[in-house]
Chains A and B, each alone.
Chain A
Amino acid sequence: MKKSNKIFKVIVIFFLVFLYAPALLLPIFSFNNSKVISFPLSGFSTIWFEELLYENTLHNALFNSLLIAISSTILATILGTLVARASTRYIFYGKRISITFILVPLILPEIILGVCLLTVLIQLGLDLNLWSVVLGHTLLITPFSTLIMVSAFNNLDISLEEASLDLGMSSFQTFRIIILPMVSPGLISSLLIGFVISLDEFIIAFFLTGVEPTLPVYIWSQFRFPAKLPSTMALGTILLIVSLILVSLFEYFRRRMELYNYYSVGLDQK
């Protein structure tokens, strides 16, 4: 028993190093005061972060990305909530197959998705702009939202809804006072994860963005200029920290959702 525990420990440590060591290079080089990305480090500096403040194209790209991330996340969460509600509360013909198709973008290569969307938009004669990226990202995020919201609604004991109706509340009041607060950890989780996915999505954005770049497309374009590399790493550091915060929040709300489920079933917690 003890021995295998040790082996697992080694595997976990190795895995974490493998996963995070490259990411740790980002903050290290972004605080280095040399234009060349190599060891040994030459000194501490925040110049690369300061430089970000004056990059107008970066600011535009950031604004585009935030706009896309917020819009597509909200759209996808609304869609995912509706799908989840339908799939957990109603019985209808073709339910399984339609849920399966909603989840397909999870496993479809993004490049295929990007090419398909591009073809469709061009065939329809639509302009490529930020809204076409919103469309693509909504398609990409909806499966995640659906999965999270299905689990949120599954955790919601139907007798809570019935109890609310039984106590004289209308369906709308029940939704507002009982259902919404109880699935809100799921909603927040879905919004957070959707936001993170959209913010760093490159392929679909690259295909559909037209002339206005998103943040990842901007970063990619910066690699052509070696002089811009350190400030790109500074940008990467900021994104890394933001992502970590968002994912931690996501995990916090996901756990709260599970606790709700635990308490609502009427068993003593032990």
Chain B
Amino acid sequence: MNKKNIRNPEKIVDLISIKKSFDKIIAVNNVSLGIKEGEFFSLLGPSGCGKTTLLRIIAGFEKPENGDVFINGKNVNSVEPNNRPTNMVFQNYAIFPHLNVSENVGYGLRNTSLNKDEIAQKIEEALNLVGLEGYHKRASSALSGGQRQRVALARALILKPRVLLLDEPLSALDKNLREQMQFELRQLQKSVGITFVLVTHDQTEALTMSDRVGVMFNGKVDQVASPEEIYNKPQTKRVASFIGNMNFFETQYLEKKSKTISVSHKDLGNIKLLKSNIFGVDKSKLTIGIRPENFKINNKNGKKQPKSFNAKVVEKSFMGDTMLYGINLRENDHHTYRISISDIKNTPSPNIGEEISVYFQEDDIVAYYEE
């Protein structure tokens, strides 16, 4: 293979055909991925999907068996972590317990030619950046979880890396603090303008914070796109079911036209699918996916919408801003599909056991060829 040493400079991190396995278990399987300069990029996936391994390959802690890692246009395959323009925030923060806050934050400056005053100045700036003014002399053992994370952030950002790598940084925090830190991290990324690469298994975290998300399963990246696109047009069935909720229906293939494909379902009737919403390798069988919020309930006495079907309510739960229903399509079919109603006031509120009529829009439907 011809190893080019300079690549597209627009991509601050460029991974080419990366493969890595541990004891015959393939953690990362032939992944190619480009991360743009200045973006907030998330690697999202269930635990064990290889996302942390991929992050550690970027940092240099793991050496890929195959493939090339380019950072800032340079091949860094043989560059050790201490010479890469990346810094990492570890999952457990890895705060040095025998050093105080200042010593932790200024740790990476020991190898620079800066003098004492300059270092103190930089530590001051870094602490202000993460909202820890006046914590200089605090022992690291006297910090709370959120403070530890801020120290870890300041310590990594003080070196002005080209890429900041974050390994599940919010998973150890409680829910309120986590939500606050999600917001703060996003603000911080915008203000410093450094490329952030975040690893997480929490889809809300990935969707709310990122410019782009890469969704991984079993060592492969299924889709890389903006949060909206990932949510509205998930390109594989497993992405669709991992991100939010998705109702799946198996259908019969009817006919193919230039822009649409028609299918039929025994309960939903005939459906015209947009070709741009259909993913996978062309096969005869298609599974369609409809999000719970894309189902609406017909008013009992009003005019029925064109694409309607009948169902029976079997579950109902009030979530505050939404009402969730579980429905069965037939008497003898116990598969429960989900409906989520956000406009609670203007929608009928059927009780469990009631028969209802549900409608949907064909344009909202995504579809996958069955493997």
Complex interface: stretch among A120-128, A161-169, A198-206: A161-169
What chain B residues lie within 8 Å of A157 (beta carbons)? 92, 94
Q: Does B15 contact A (CB under 8 A)?
A: no
Interface of B (DSSP majority class): mixed
When the two chains form their complex, are residues B111 and A169 in contact, meaning their CB atoms are under 8 A apart?
A: yes
Interface size class of A (residues with CB under 8 A): 20 to 34
Q: Which residue of A lies closest to B140 (CB)?
A: A263
Chain A residues in 8 Å Cβ range of B83:
168
> Is there contact, CB below 8 Å, between B145 and A266?
yes
How many angstroms between the C-alpha atoms of A264 and B143 in the bound complex? 11
Q: Which residues of B contact A159 (CB under 8 A)?
A: 90-92, 94
Shortest C-beta distance, A152 to chain B (Å), equals: 13
- Whether A269 pairs with B141 at a CB distance below 8 angstroms is yes
Contacting pair B97 A169 (CB below 8 A)? no
Check if B97 sits within 8 Å of A264, measured CB to CB. Answer: yes
Q: Are B95 and A166 in contact (CB under 8 A)?
A: no
Cα–Cα, bound, A91→B217 (Å):
28
B64-95 interface mask toward A, CB cutoff 8 Å, 1 = contact, 0 = none?
00000000000000001111001110111111
- Are A165 and B97 in contact, CB atoms less than 8 angstroms apart? no
Select the residue from A160, A165, A168, A260 with max chain B CB neighbours within 10 A: A168
**B82–A165 touching, CB < 8 Å:** yes
Give which listed residue, B87, B97, B140, B148, contacts A167 with CB less than 8 A.
Answer: B87
Residue of B with least CB distance to A178: B96
B88 contact set on A, CB distance < 8 A: 162-163, 166
When A266-B145, A268-B145 are in contact, do A162 and B108 touch as well, CB less than 8 Å? no
Flag if B82 contacts A166 (CB, 8 Å).
yes
How far, in angstroms, from A265 to B96 measured CA to CA in the complex? 10
A181 within 8 A of B: yes
- Contacts A169-B110, A267-B145 given; does A162 touch B93 at CB 8 Å: no
In the complex, chain A residues whose CB is within 8 Å of the CB of B156: 166-167
Q: Which of A245-270 contact B (CB under 8 A)?
A: 259-260, 263-269
Instruction: Tell me the nearest residue of chain A to B61, going by C-beta.
Output: A162
- A57 within 8 A of partner (CB): no
Cβ of A167: which chain B residues have Cβ within 8 Å of it?
A: 82, 87, 107-108, 155-156, 159
**Which residues on the B side are within 8 Å of A263 (C-beta)?**
97, 140-141
Interface centre among B82, B93, B107 (most CB of A within 10 A): B82
| A119 partner residues in chain B, CB cutoff 8 A | none
Q: How far is the CA of A243 from the CA of B26 in the complex (A)?
A: 54
Partner of B148, one of A169, A170, A266: A266
Contacts of B98 in A (CB 8 A): 181-182, 260
In the assembled complex, which residues on chain B have CB atoms less than 8 Å from the CB atom of A269?
Answer: 141
Question: Which of B88, B91, B96, B145 has its CB near the most chain A CB atoms (within 10 A)?
Answer: B96
Residue of B nearest to A162 (CB): B61
Q: How many residues of B contact A (CB 8 A)?
A: 31
B146 to chain A, nearest CB (A): 10
Q: CB-CB contacts of A7-41 with B at 8 A, as 1s and 0s?
A: 00000000000000000000000000000000000
B59 sits at the interface (CB 8 A):
yes
B94 and A168 within 8 A (CB): no
Question: Which residues in chain A, 206-261, are within 8 Å of chain B measured between CB atoms?
Answer: 259-260
Whether A129 sits at the interface, judged by CB under 8 Å, is: no
**Whole-angstrom distance between the alpha carbons of A170 and B96 in the complex?**
16
A116 to B59, CA, bound (A): 52
Verify B81–A165 contact, CB threshold 8 A. yes
**B172 contacts A266, CB within 8 Å?**
yes
A173 near B: Cβ within 8 Å? yes
Knowing A163-B88, A267-B145, say if A168 contacts B159 (CB, 8 Å).
Answer: yes
Would A163 and B94 count as touching, CB distance under 8 A?
yes
B144 at the interface (CB under 8 A from A): yes
Among B61, B93, B97, max chain A CB count under 10 A is at B97
**Which of A166, A178, A259 meets B59, CB within 8 Å?**
A166
Q: Using a CB-CB cutoff of 8 Å, which residues 81-135 of chain B contact chain A?
A: 81-83, 86-88, 90-98, 107-108, 110-111
A268 to B108, CA, bound (A): 25
- With A182-B98, A264-B97, A266-B172: A166-B87 Cβ-Cβ less than 8 Å: yes
Contact B92 A266 (CB under 8 A): yes
| Contact in complex: A168, B97 (CB < 8 Å) | no
- In chain B, residues 51-66, which have Cβ atoms closer than 8 Å to a Cβ of chain A? 59, 61
For chain A residues 143-167, which have a beta carbon within 8 Å of chain B? 157, 159-160, 162-167
With both beta carbons as reference points, the residue of chain A lying nearest to B92 in the complex is identified as A266
A168 and B108 contact, CB distance less than 8 A: yes
List 14 additional A-B contacts (Cβ < 8 Å) besides A260-B98, A263-B141: A159-B91, A160-B94, A160-B96, A163-B90, A165-B80, A166-B81, A167-B107, A167-B155, A173-B110, A178-B96, A260-B97, A264-B94, A266-B93, A268-B145
Can you report 25 residue pairs joining A to B where beta carbons are below 8 Å apart?
A159-B91, A159-B94, A162-B88, A162-B90, A162-B94, A163-B96, A165-B80, A166-B59, A166-B81, A166-B86, A166-B88, A167-B107, A167-B155, A167-B159, A168-B108, A169-B107, A169-B108, A177-B110, A181-B98, A182-B97, A263-B140, A266-B148, A266-B172, A268-B145, A269-B141
Closest 4 CB pairs of A and B: A167-B108, A163-B94, A266-B92, A159-B94
